[in-house]
Amino acid sequence: MEKPVWIGGVGMISAIGNSVPEALQAIEQGKSGIGPMRWLPSAHKDVFPVAEVKLSNGDLADYTGMPCGITRTALLGVAAATEAFKSIEHLLHPTFKTGLLSATTVGGMDKTTHFFKEFLKNQSGGRLRNVVYHECGSPTELVAEKLGIRDFITTISTACSSSANSIMMAARMIQHGMLDVAIAGGVDALSTFTLNGFNTLMILDKAYCRPFDNSRNGLNLGEGAAFLVLLSESALKTMGIEPLCRISGWHNATDAYHQTASSPDGIGSCIAMRGALEKARLQPEDIGYINVHGTGTVNNDQSEGTAMKQIFGEKMPRFSSSKSFTGHTLGASGGLEAVLSVLALKHGLIYPNLRFSTPIEGLGLVPETHFQTGVDIRHVLSNSFGFGGNCTSLLFSKN
């Protein structure tokens, strides 16, 4: 029998709050974090709504105790990772092998764009401090330094499945005895490069996104960070803490159908979900809730819904997309949604899928539209699907 991997703590920062309790309160009150751009400088400021964290870089520096000159990505990462780490930091044993596995798609790009704006005007212009933290691993290294983690540090970048893959890798490393404790998740900050890229793909909605609705017309970009504390059985016993739940299944599949679009038959999504169920030794009817990838684009929701119909048929579990609150946080989305999945399981919560009115024609799938508490849930599935058909599903189960 495989060794269990436990979840000992969580942390997150997003457009709906600077901590886990703030995020849950916003969801309970039905308050979406999507709105007009405030911090991101863009020619599309009055065109596309986004889901920004409601703190400036200066505010984030004060909040985290980090220098204001580092990237917004790193500041967000430190905020979420610190919240998660605090739950077990005082219980860490010196013999524990502790790792940080973080994910991102933008790295320090939020600062780099400021450099090139000045550099293109004058090649002696631009401040080099705005490019020194550019590469993807930089936010991870800054977070690791803040937390004092040195045993194992790595960065994963697989588009919108990045955070889910970092959590999956952490779980595998713990099962194989390579780590005792892992802080895993991811972070992305909004950048003009990302916004312009998604606009070129014509998948941004000028209105607030409507995941799984027949009238859906695109996604709203967001930013944030989220991390989970994963523990081995021996680490959990040594610490003597009550776990939130365990991660019981995971699977990654790449359908390679298209550079950016999901396969219309949902093959990658289907393989990922089936693989996670198989890993956890569960049947489709065991799943009590699915936090769907649910971006609100025409292609993604059709593809994911098709895959869900193939697996669950007419016995569809409750499901919803939390991106209707947080926007699509890209590399951080798998982390945010994993945290929310853990909390749904721990507290018996079902999250509403905001702005839903009409099922997708031909699928007829109806997500949950009201916040619910006290629901008996034993197993929660969390989906994260990225460009290139890189699809990952995580499965969390009660103790």
DSSP 208-267: ---TT-TT---B-BB-EEEEEEEE-HHHHHHHT---SEEEEEEEEEE----SSSPPTT-H
First vs last Cα of the chain: how many Å apart? Answer: 16
Instruction: Identify the active-site residue in 209, 251, 270, 328.
Output: 328
Catalytic residue at 391? no
Q: Of the candidates 37, 113, 101, 42, which has an alpha carbon nearest to the alpha carbon of residue 71? A: 113
Instruction: Identify the active-site residue in 136, 245, 270, 293.
Output: 293
**CA 172, CA 229: separation in Å to the nearest integer?**
14
Residues 6+ apart with CB under 8 A from 282: 248, 249, 379, 395, 397
DSSP 82-143: HHHHHTTGGG--TT--EEEEEE-SSTTHHHHHHHHHHHHH-TT-S-GGGTTT-STHHHHHHH
**CA 378, CA 399: separation in Å to the nearest integer?**
9
Catalytic residue at 160? yes
Instruction: Identify the active-site residue in 160, 209, 245, 270.
Output: 160
Beta bridge partners of 269: none
Question: Catalytic positions, please?
Answer: 160, 293, 328
